[in-house]
Amino acid sequence: MSLIGAKTFFFYKGKSQPSHHTVSLPDYFQKSDMKLPRSGVTLLYGHKGPGSLVGAAIRKSASENIGVCFADIKIDIGLWDANKQSLDNFDRCRFLNLPSRANRDVLDDINSRWNQWLEQSCLPRESFPRKPSSNMNLLDRLVLEEPYSHLNAIAYDAITRFGIAKFVTVFNLDAILMEEIMVIPPSTRISFVKPEAAD
């Protein structure tokens, strides 16, 4: 079993942090018109962006006199593959990091499906996954189709108020190692609910 690390943060009011917090549809300072997936929980991934967003969260906490908690989360991705992901490997390595860790066939296949779905909704064509998209809810459709249905999580670039960040949406919540979640400060227990289930 190979693991990836992800982060999240949340705000709270009052002097003491809550004993429990549910992560469902978080606010990572993303563009207001960005539609996140609803069949998975979105977290922050890697070193591209989370640092500046964590700093922004601390500044917001101080300026608005609200509390902030951070959490480190580990996700099972099957067997790590050092090569760029290919369409025939998702049943082994169940993590897709777009666009940098996907080969051209994967990028072209996703872009073709993406623009087909955008066209059906009378929306303009996009260059996703090579460039960020505001229509990330289309990942909900992607993970229903072969071979993407094998994936536990998909990471992608997202535009935030503080530049490009890397988000990761976890579609298989059973892949989250609940016993290894580290919350700072450590007084809050975290759970995860897919936005579609929270409606």
pLDDT of 52: 85
Binned average pLDDT, 10 residues per bin, the chain of 199 residues: 95 92 94 96 83 90 96 97 95 97 98 98 97 98 98 96 94 98 94 87
What pairing do the DSSP bridges indicate for beta strands 182-184 and 95-97?
unpaired
Q: Which residues of 83-116 are buried (b: 16+ CB within 10 A; e: fewer)?
A: ebbeeebbeebbbbbbbebbeeebbebbbeebbe
160 vs 53: CA distance, rounded Å: 9
Please give the pLDDT value at position 42.
98
- Which residue ranges make up each domain of the chain? 3-198
pLDDT of residue 115: 98
For residue 140, give the nearest of 28, 40, 32 by alpha carbon: 40
DSSP string across 61-95: HHHHT-EEEEEEEEEE-BS--SSPB-TT-TTTB-E
H/E segment holding residue 106: helix 104-120
CA atoms within 13 A on the CB side of 20: 4
